[in-house]
Structures are given as structure tokens and as C-alpha cells.
């Protein structure tokens, strides 16, 4: 669910990929159903092994409830989100909505960060358009 929301809402600021302690070979049907209610089709997505994210990302969101080993190689943020597997559809919707809110906060936080100085204007530099002209005021 988190990967689906992250791709739908934050593809301009992040790259999302699901991974898990016990990877699945398919999505739970109720996961697919409740995400379609939000117009997010997870298609054939499924969580891969945690090894697949090792040393590849700047941040890993952990929703497993289990502390991740230090060998992940990056910052880990823990989200206290229940696992809906085996629960009724109502619980899937509640979990979906919690994940959506957390992902939106993450995306908004990433968008509000200022770019490093090297990505912005150098000190004293002025802005110009694609023709080398100062922008109109």
C-alpha cells in the first residue's frame, strides 16, 4: 500500500519500492481491492526481499514492528501500522487510510526541504531564462 501511495503522490520527490522480512509472491486480494477504491492499481506489485533495498535508498520505512538489523545501510524510520492480513475488509481500509496519511506527510515533508546549495543558485548568481535573459518581473 505504501509503495502505491508513494508512487501516486510523490513520484516527483522519491522512488518507492516495497520490501519485507517475509516477502510475498502476490498481493492479498483485499489489499488490491481497497487500493482500487483510491484509484491506485497495484497491478502485479508485491514486496521483495529486504536484501533488495540494502544500500540502495536514503530512507527505509519499517512497518514490520520488528527492529531492522543495522546492516540495512541507511536511515530507518519506524511506522507503527498494524498488518491487516487475516482481518476483515474494514480493517484493510483503516490501515490503508493510516498509510495514506503517513505517506502524504512524508511526501509533503520532502517537498518542503530546500535543495542543497549546489542545486540552487551559487552565491551571488542571478537567474536567467533559457535565452540567457533575466526573467521578467
Global pTM exceeds 0.85? no
- Report the alpha-carbon distance of residue 119 to residue 7 in Å, rounded: 24
CATH number of 2-112: 3.40.50.2300
For residues 89 and 33, is the Cβ–Cβ distance under 8 A? yes
- Report the alpha-carbon distance of residue 87 to residue 123 in Å, rounded: 56
- Coil, strand or helix: which one is 71? helix
Q: pLDDT category, 123, cuts 50, 70, 90?
A: very low
- Report the alpha-carbon distance of residue 29 to residue 42 in Å, rounded: 11
59 - beta bridge partners?
75
**pLDDT single digits (tens) 72-121:** 778 889 999 999 999 999 999 999 999 999 999 999 999 998 555 444 44
**pLDDT single digits (tens) 51-63:** 777 778 888 899 9
Grid coordinates 509533503 are at which residue? Answer: 108
Amino acid at each position: 500500500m505504501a509503495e502505491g501511495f508513494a508512487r501516486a503522490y510523490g513520484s516527483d520527490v522519491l522512488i518507492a519500492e516495497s520490501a519485507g522480512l517475509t516477502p510475498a509472491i502476490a498481493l492479498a486480494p483485499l489489499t488490491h481491492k481497497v487500493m482500487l477504491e483510491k484509484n491506485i492499481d497495484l497491478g502485479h506489485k508485491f514486496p521483495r526481499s529486504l536484501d533488495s533495498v540494502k544500500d540502495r535508498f536514503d530512507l527505509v520505512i519499517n512497518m514490520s514492528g520488528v527492529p531492522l538489523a543495522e546492516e540495512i545501510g541507511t536511515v530507518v524510520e519506524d511506522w507503527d501500522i498494524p498488518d491487516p492480513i487475516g482481518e476483515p475488509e474494514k480493517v484493510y481500509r483503516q490501515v490503508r487510510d493510516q498509510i495514506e496519511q503517513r505517506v502524504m506527510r512524508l511526501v509533503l515533508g520532502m517537498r518542503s526541504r530546500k535543495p542543497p546549495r549546489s542545486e540552487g543558485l551559487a552565491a551571488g548568481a542571478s537567474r536567467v531564462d533559457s535565452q540567457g535573459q533575466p526573467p521578467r518581473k
